[in-house]
């Protein structure tokens, strides 16, 4: 296993995602660009509180082996009109964008030079709440498109595993960091957020996505 420690230098600006240097974590079969400090430190707590208190959080419901399970982890889905997202046998209709999400989306777009029309948010209350190996290859997501993952709150380990070679690469996603996945990464790599009993603080993750409009 390869473990990458983020050490990207940044320059601050006034509540804009900063013009950061990046680290490409993968050496083959996809692109994963990591920006260790994407949000100015003096804004992180304000953003965290705003999201925690004003997002329409709900417990995640997933279907495993034909049985519905309600997780402690909470989720929310916001998007442009006519966007829906089906995973774990459930379909989510995007809620209208909140002002804070629009600001964050614009800032992320300024770093990645991409455009996003949806955002899936996850609230992990502590390190016991995690995400197993998976890839974001649902039919609604534009193939090989950019997925920009913004981390706010507790620092968490994040891992990639190659589907053929089984090579694993891990990084610590720091508070205020941005991870962009694009190219053929979803076809060739799984990713996960492992459990950790040592982590007692909460983390909010926002994944900005490029999705096909839903045909009703």
Our CA angle for 182, 72, 55, nearest 5°, is: 65
**pLDDT per position as a tens digit, 28-75:** 999 999 999 899 999 999 999 999 999 999 998 776 667 777 889 999
- Within a domain: residue 63? no
pLDDT at 20: 60
- Within a domain: residue 215? no
- Within a domain: residue 40? yes
**pLDDT per position as a tens digit, 117-169:** 999 999 999 999 999 999 999 999 999 999 999 999 999 999 999 999 999 99
CATH of the domain at 27: 2.60.120.590
- Within a domain: residue 27? yes
Ramachandran region of residue 16, left (φ > 0), alpha (ψ -120 to 50) or beta? beta
How far is 201 from 4, CA to CA, in rounded Å?
A: 22
- Within a domain: residue 214? no
Contact of 2 with 28, CB cutoff 8 Å: no
- Within a domain: residue 65? no
Q: What residue numbers bound the domain in which 51 lies?
A: 2-56+71-209
- Within a domain: residue 79? yes
**H helices within 1-86, ranges in order?**
41-54
Structural domain count, the chain: 1
Residue 178: which of 25, 2, 70, 30 has the closest Cα?
A: 25
- Within a domain: residue 44? yes
**pLDDT per position as a tens digit, 70-90:** 889 999 999 999 999 887 677
- Torsion from C-alpha of 212, 51, 175, 190, nearest 10 degrees: -30
């Amino acid at each position: 296993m390869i473990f990458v420690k983020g050490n990207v230098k940044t320059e601050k600006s006034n509540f804009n995602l900063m013009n950061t240097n990046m680290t490409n974590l993968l050496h083959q079969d996809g692109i994963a660009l990591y920006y260790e400090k994407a949000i100015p430190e003096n804004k992180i707590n304000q953003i965290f509180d705003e999201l925690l208190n004003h997002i329409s959080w709900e417990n995640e419901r997933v279907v495993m082996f034909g049985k519905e399970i309600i997780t402690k982890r909470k989720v929310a889905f916001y998007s442009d009109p006519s966007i829906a997202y089906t995973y774990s046998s459930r379909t989510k209709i995007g809620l209208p964008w909140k002002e804070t999400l629009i600001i964050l989306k614009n800032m992320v777009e300024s770093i990645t030079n991409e455009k996003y029309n949806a955002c899936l948010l996850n609230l992990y209350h502590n390190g016991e709440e995690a995400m197993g190996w998976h890839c974001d290859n649902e039919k609604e997501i534009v193939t090989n498109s950019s997925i920009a993952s913004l981390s706010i709150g507790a620092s968490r380990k994040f891992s990639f595993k190659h589907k053929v070679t089984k090579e694993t690469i891990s990084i610590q996603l720091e508070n205020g960091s941005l991870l962009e996945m694009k190219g053929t990464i979803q076809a060739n790599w799984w990713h996960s957020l492992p459990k950790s009993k040592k982590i007692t603080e909460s983390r909010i993750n926002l994944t900005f996505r490029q999705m096909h409009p839903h045909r009703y």
